[in-house]
Chains A and B, each alone.
Chain A
């Protein structure tokens, strides 16, 4: 799995440079965030190995949270052509993530 941890300083640049990818906003003490990481792992393992996954810890990078207009975690963003193509707050299963990514 191709993973990148982003910060307040570089998230905008990375998002803009991403053709297709996922961005998860999370925090450490958050069981639902951990769950979404597992869901993403399964999604990637099911034929999406080339999709890069970016992570932002919102406690360490609060500006990214406001910059992306996110209020809660976990929030998953689907990035297509350098822009946010879809946003989903909360939990989903790998199948739902597959549909979200495909339709975005």
Chain B
């Protein structure tokens, strides 16, 4: 029998949404536990620098995440990181999160599980030179050639970071006929004098490996032309998928797998709320995640008060 830990509010996921919810819940005197399968911070941890979070002109993503975590823990929130979550129960009056170590229960729960990177859509044969985090793995490619897949903000920003690390040549490819990244992000990278090429309407069709990655075959989807490009590593920024594995069959989701909520962050399950990138919405930013977390915590507090009456 695992040790039972009972709280007023459980939060599953420790990104900006989950931590903001925890801060508001703790300040409202709710006994709160935050359970995170990784480390707190979510995708912010993989962001080189954050330049659009009010009060922080330019801050490394990991530093921002750490500051929010310190604030969260200082308020007495129980934070369980690297938790191996094995089961989630949302239907009863007491919600449960079971991990390898503990059984957490509470009458209200916030889902803030966020998103995870979309993997490449070809067989990479477990190629060890395919990465999703330039901060983690970029330094190994100083003086080498790298392919960045994805022409959104993440693709351009991470390519810029790789270039600043000293990567010799960066090929950035986007499958659409235009780059969806903000113009400012594009200009920042493409203003670099040398070592950067960016191509639209281009997809990777094959990795050429001999013990390690040697090259990629790229196909221009408009012309059908095939290019053989020598690269030492690949960084993938093709967007994100919702982390809904634990509750996909229980909570109402939209057609893309995101949790449907009302403006108060309530899901279709009484006592279950959702916040941040996992929620069905148009804009996914750190600031919108924090706003969601705030509303979810306040709504959870209201739910708990009404339940007691």
Interface residues of A (CB under 8 A from B): 27, 29-35, 38-39, 41-42, 46, 59, 71-73, 89, 91, 93-95
Which residues of the partner chain A approach B39 to less than 8 Å between Cβ atoms? 31, 34-35, 38
Q: How far is the CB of A4 from chain B (nearest CB, A)?
A: 21
Q: List 16 A-B contacts (CB under 8 A).
A: A27-B136, A29-B62, A31-B39, A31-B62, A31-B136, A34-B45, A34-B62, A35-B81, A38-B39, A38-B81, A38-B82, A46-B101, A59-B139, A72-B140, A73-B137, A94-B84
B interface, size bucket: 20 to 34
**Complex Cα gap A17–B81 (Å):** 32
A-B pairs, 4 with minimum CB distance: A31-B45, A38-B82, A93-B84, A35-B39
A29 touches B82 (CB 8 A): no
| Given known contacts A35-B39, A35-B82, A39-B82, A89 and B45 CB-to-CB distance under 8 angstroms | no
Name the contact of A29 in the complex, choosing from B37, B38, B135, B140 (C-beta under 8 A): B135
CB-CB contacts of B106-149 with A at 8 A, as 1s and 0s? Answer: 00000000000000000000001000010111011000000000
Name the contact of A94 in the complex, choosing from B45, B82, B128, B140 (C-beta under 8 A): B82
Q: How far is the CB of B117 from chain A (nearest CB, A)?
A: 13
**Complex Cα gap A77–B85 (Å):** 25
A93 touches B139 (CB 8 A): no
Name the contact of A33 in the complex, choosing from B41, B84, B136 (C-beta under 8 A): B136
Pick the most buried of B41, B46, B136, B140: most chain A CB atoms within 10 A of its CB: B136
Name the contact of A71 in the complex, choosing from B60, B84, B136, B140 (C-beta under 8 A): B140
B82 touches A42 (CB 8 A): yes
Q: What would 18 more interface pairs be, CB under 8 Å, given A41-B82, A59-B139, A94-B100?
A: A29-B62, A31-B38, A31-B45, A31-B46, A31-B133, A32-B133, A33-B136, A34-B62, A35-B82, A38-B81, A39-B82, A46-B101, A71-B140, A72-B128, A72-B136, A72-B137, A73-B136, A93-B82
Which residues of the partner chain B approach A39 to less than 8 Å between Cβ atoms? 82
Pick the most buried of B38, B39, B82: most chain A CB atoms within 10 A of its CB: B82
**Which secondary structure dominates chain B's binding surface?**
loop
Interface residues of B (CB under 8 A from A): 37-39, 41, 45-46, 60, 62, 81-82, 84, 100-101, 128, 133, 135-137, 139-140
**Complex Cα gap A42–B35 (Å):** 14
Name the contact of B135 in the complex, choosing from A30, A38, A91 (C-beta under 8 A): A30
B136 touches A35 (CB 8 A): no
Q: How far is the CB of A66 from chain B (nearest CB, A)?
A: 11
B128 touches A89 (CB 8 A): yes
Q: How far is the CB of A67 from chain B (nearest CB, A)?
A: 16
A31 touches B82 (CB 8 A): no
Which residues of the partner chain A approach B81 to less than 8 Å between Cβ atoms? 35, 38
**Complex Cα gap A44–B139 (Å):** 30
Closest residue on chain B to residue A71 by CB atoms: B140
A95 touches B60 (CB 8 A): no
Which residues of the partner chain A approach B128 to less than 8 Å between Cβ atoms? 71-72, 89
**Complex Cα gap A93–B62 (Å):** 21
Q: How far is the CB of B234 from chain A (nearest CB, A)?
A: 13
Closest residue on chain B to residue A62 by CB atoms: B139
B136 touches A32 (CB 8 A): yes
